Amino acid sequence: MEKTTFIARIGRIREFLLKPQVFLVLVLIASAVMRFIAWDWTPLLERDSVGYVNAAAVWAATGKYTVPQFPPLPCYLIKLLIQLGLAPETAARLYAFVPGCLVPVVAYALAMESTGNRRIARYAAIFFIFHPTLLFFSVMPIRDSLYILLAGLCLWIGLRAVRYQENRLWILYACCCALAWCCRHEGMEFLPLTALILFIELIRKRYTWRKAALHFLLVLLITPTLWFTIGFLTGGMEPFVLQSALVMNHFRDFIE
């Protein structure tokens, strides 16, 4: 009798811990702890990170963005944290740390959306907590941490948008694409990717031509507009012009 009660209690605890909300909170805590440990492993900044910290510190002090070849959003966020009173290195580390902690949660959502299996989603979230590359991104102030989070969000929202075919989901997807593009130039690959996904859905006869065209047009209009707006508001015109040239080069390379 006692044994049965004990097993039942264990079962209840397990059930409670595996509830999605509780599990995700645990994932967040574990993710933060793991990233703190990784932070302790890497007390010194690596090559590119130093560039970001210096650029943000100069930007905060003089108001001039000195590395217009990089998208301004990551440096702008670091600059905002510096202006809040944090030391440049702490601000930069924090900028990478917070999105890094959130990535396993997004991975859970993405795995859940794509496979429909809660256990696979749980495994994926656990793997993401310990992934070495992500740990590195989360403790080094480079643009990848935020980019990975936004790209994961793009994919998750994109899959939901394909499933539910709602306009507001496609608008949200376009906003995430634009933000990802503001972090890394590779973010623009979501534009041809959207076309590919919609084309596959058309072949599978889940979409009508009209709806597919409408949704693609939404993404095609909103993403570059928002990319320009965010780029202009954060970095001004000079980085925007330089980056437009870089993006054109990317497109030319892709076409060639």
Partner 1 sequence: MGAFFHKFFQTFFQQIPNGVCLVFAIGALVSTVFMLAKRHHRGKLFVILWAAFLFMGLWRCAKGIISIRYASIMIFPMVIATAFGCRRGEAWWRLLCRYFRCLPSWFGRVIALGCLIGCTGGALVIAHYKLNIQSRAFTTICRTVSDYRKLYPDLRVLVKHNDTERFTYHTQVPCIPLEDNQREFFAQGLNGITDPDGHFLLVVMERHLKGLEPRRDELRPGAKLSRVRAKRYRQSKRKNLDIYFYENPLSFSRIAAVSPAPPASPDDLLGPGAFGPSRSAAAFRSRPVPGGGGFRFTFVVSAEAVSGKAAAVEVRTVRRQGNGEVPTLQLRCPVKEKGIYRGVVTFRTPPGPFAICLDGLGTTVRLEQFRLTRAE
Binding track, positions 162-201, relative to partner 1; x by CB under 8 A = xx----------------------x--x--xx--xx--xx
Where do we find the tokens 């070849």? Answer: 69
Taking CB under 8 A as the criterion, the residue among 32, 54, 216, 224 binding partner 1 is 54
CA angle (173 as vertex; 145, 254 as ends), nearest 5: 70
Contact 185, 71 (CB under 8 A): yes
Binding part of the chain for partner 1, among 18-26, 150-158, 170-178, 234-242 by CB under 8 A, reads: 150-158
CA gap 3, 7 in Å, rounded: 6
By beta-carbon proximity to partner 1, the closer residue of 148 and 175 is 148
The closest of 210, 213, 215, 109 to 167, measured between CA atoms, is: 215
Taking CB under 8 A as the criterion, the residue among 27, 45, 102, 176 binding partner 1 is 45
Q: How far is the CB of 233 from partner 1 (least distance, A)?
A: 26
Taking CB under 8 A as the criterion, the residue among 128, 170, 181, 207 binding partner 1 is 128
By beta-carbon proximity to partner 1, the closer residue of 98 and 236 is 98
Q: How far is the CB of 237 from partner 1 (least distance, A)?
A: 26
Taking CB under 8 A as the criterion, the residue among 28, 98, 120, 247 binding partner 1 is 120
Residue 111 per-residue DSSP state:
H
Is there binding between residue 44 and partner 1 (CB under 8 A)?
yes
By beta-carbon proximity to partner 1, the closer residue of 50 and 218 is 50
Q: Which residues contact 180 (CB under 8 A, 6 or more apart)?
A: 147, 150, 151, 154, 187, 190
Q: How far is the CB of 153 from partner 1 (least distance, A)?
A: 11
Q: How far is the CB of 247 from partner 1 (least distance, A)?
A: 14
Taking CB under 8 A as the criterion, the residue among 91, 102, 124, 176 binding partner 1 is 124
Taking CA atoms, 232 is separated from 76, 113, 242, in Å, by 12, 34, 12
DSSP 156-211: HHHHHHHHH--HHHHHHHHHHHHHHHHH-GGGGGHHHHHHHHHHHHHHTTSS-HHH
Q: How far is the CB of 121 from partner 1 (least distance, A)?
A: 8
Footprint on this chain of partner 1 (rule: CB under 8 A): 38, 41-47, 50-51, 53-54, 107, 110-111, 113-117, 119-121, 123-124, 126-128, 130-137, 139, 142, 144, 147-148, 151-152, 155, 159, 162-163, 186, 189, 192-193, 196-197, 200-201, 253-254
